[in-house]
Amino acid sequence: MINLLVLKENSDNENRVALVPDEIKKYLDLGFKVVVEKDAGTKSGFLDEDYKKANANISNNIKKSIKESDVIIKVQKLDPGLIKEMKTGAILIGLLSPQKNSSENAIYNKKKISAFALENIPRITRAQDKDVLSSQSNLAGYKAVLDAAHEYSKSFPMMMTAAGTVTPAKVLVLGAGVAGLQAIATAKRLGAVVSAYDVRLAAKEEVESLGAKFVVFDEEVLKKSQTEGGYAKEMTEDYKKKQEQALEKSIPENDIIICTALIPNKRAPRLISKKIIEKMKSESVIVDLAVETGGNAELSEENKIIVHKGIKIIGYTNYPSRIPGDSSTLFSKNVFNFIKILIDNENKKIKVNLDDEIISKTLLSHQGKLMNL
């Protein structure tokens, strides 16, 4: 039997849980014993009683449970003090922020822990049902538009009344990845007139399929702006100047700006300068989903709504945690699909196959060796 432990998230800004009750039976069928830390799912709407009904065990003695566990799953990284309590050779799975946590990496190595960073899952077809970044980004894009609508002083759809006509809001989405596409779809459903910009020309067809206008100002450069993995490349300084000039014209024409532009393992591109913000209409709203990695908007600040000359700039972090029920459910499904590829079905045991691209690219440490850092 494989002992699986689900730990409670301790960050004030984290409301998700790594396993929801509906997924527990799948683990039991694979030969796992499931232990859940007391109140682990409370902030997501999943009570201890729900876990008990699904045949999980509730733990009040977390250090003891950690020492006994073969596999530990979390949403965010595990505290270094608790990593030291893990038994030698155990497995840790979650969003481990490898680039930020060198101290944890050293402990993984010393304890011979197999640490899997789910944010490193490759963009290949076989990995889609394990891709936590995509599932969580979907919800982030949706929630960002709802927050913008809440802070905007006018309506999103066009309304025709006896008193006159209310014009629709104009929404510009910067970055047409998973979060951006969901933001486009949500804004369209709310009745806004939507346009989008992305440095990847490949995003044009997806944007237009959702009924939005794709903003292009240098098509030749855009053809070379995507990595093999489907992510945006960092652009040249010359292109950045052209980009700023184009956005300086298009951003003030819109009422709502949703910023979702990211570059993997690098600072988020600065797309909206203070100069551009000051050209926007009063009561306009900017939502900066990239605020945790430096921000797409110059004035955005983490977990604050900044009001500058009548323009609201929303900088909430960890957007998926703002919809904890659904984000936990999707995260839980992703994690189970990942764990399935670690199981030797014949022997009902863990088997780390380094020839599997998904496994090899997510591993940070294995059998006393650091990887992918």
- The residues assigned a catalytic role are 123, 128, 131, 134, 231
Which class for 217: exposed (0-12), middle (13-18), buried (19 or more C-beta within 10 A)?
A: middle
Of 286, 298, 291, nearest to 317 by C-alpha is 291
Which class for 266: exposed (0-12), middle (13-18), buried (19 or more C-beta within 10 A)?
A: exposed
Which class for 72: exposed (0-12), middle (13-18), buried (19 or more C-beta within 10 A)?
A: buried
Residue 111 near residue 86 (C-beta atoms within 8 A): yes
Beta bridge partners of 366: 369
Rounded to a whole number of angstroms, the distance between the first and last alpha carbons of the chain is 32
Neighbours of 89 (CB within 10 A): 14
Of 251, 296, 269, 257, nearest to 145 by C-alpha is 257
Neighbours of 279 (CB within 10 A): 14
How far apart are alpha carbons 9 and 185 in whole angstroms? 31
How far apart are alpha carbons 9 and 78 in whole angstroms? 9
Query: Nearest 5°: phi and psi at 233?
Result: -85, 160
Tokens describing residue 327: 């984000």
Q: What is the largest CA-CA distance in the chain?
A: 73
Q: CA-based angle 125:131:136, to the nearest 5?
A: 135
How far apart are alpha carbons 63 and 87 in whole angstroms? 11
